[in-house]
Amino acid sequence: MFDFDGRRILVTGGARGIGAATVLAFRERGARVAVGARSAASYGAFLARHGDRGIVPAVGEVRNRAAAHAVVAAAVDALGGLDVLVNSAGIFVEAPVAEVTQEAWDDSLAVNLAGTFFCSQAALPALRASGGNVINVASDAGLIGYPMGCVYSAAKGGVVNLTRAMAVELAPAVRVNCVCPGNVETDMIFAAAAASADPQAYLQSARERAYTRRMSQPAEIAAAILYLASREAANTTGIALPVDGGRLAGY
């Protein structure tokens, strides 16, 4: 099950967090993986931690059409094609409605939403040729609202409905799905906690939002991504799969 031997994968945001866990999970199952990283330094840090076996670089920003197309082209050239695109590049913006700046709004929509769309657009010819698929990393914040999270929710809600729209337009040639993680133990949430008034209370609240009373591990999100990318999910398209400890199940 979940055999990716010889398959060609691009994971944007692949140098850290959920993206890095996804790169490693694909590699362990025989895939060749292009690591999308914002900079050569972040790609180098990934290699220092995990090695370069089965890995090729796809370095660059994905915040606009030209940049996203360049990253995807680098991956397709290095891999000789593409079977799976995982759009995991993202940033977290947390601010009250009254204090959201133009820069924060623009950055969140550029990286989280525009990057997802334009990477998918760039990958489309290669994915049509291979009968491949796209998995977008959205968020439970794209399905429900969070206080202080209006900008992030707007971007990730866009990713959820973008997933559905692309799925119906591109079927049956290319499947498109997304995962919607709740809180995940990555440096992103630890950075948000560190910027808060009470970091320990912030992290405890993040754990208690889930009915499992814990945050997810990056490898658990990667496992959901691998399922959606796999041949076992060949008749699954257009879904938004929560991995949130039951948060969306009820109050």
Q: Is 190 exposed, middle or buried (0-12, 13-18, 19+ CB in 10 A)?
A: middle
Helix (H) or strand (E) holding 229: helix 218-229
* Residue in 146, 152, 202, 227 annotated catalytic: 152
The distance between the two most distant Cα atoms of the chain, rounded to a whole number of Å, is 51
Q: At what angle do helices 187-194 and 199-208 cross, to 10 degrees?
A: 130
DSSP for 77-97 reads HHHTS-SEEEE---------G
Specify the length of the chain in residues.
251
Cβ neighbours of 121 (radius 10 Å): 14
Q: Six-digit token pair at 175?
A: 């499947």
Residue type, 101: T
Q: Is the peptide bond before 199 cis (omega within 30 degrees of 0)?
A: no
For residues 163 and 238, what is the distance between their CA atoms, to the nearest angstrom? 6
Instruction: Please indicate whether residue 152 is annotated as part of the active site.
Output: yes
Cβ neighbours of 161 (radius 10 Å): 13
Q: Six-digit token pair at 34?
A: 């292009």
Cβ-contact 110, 90 below 8 angstroms: no
Residues designated catalytic:
152
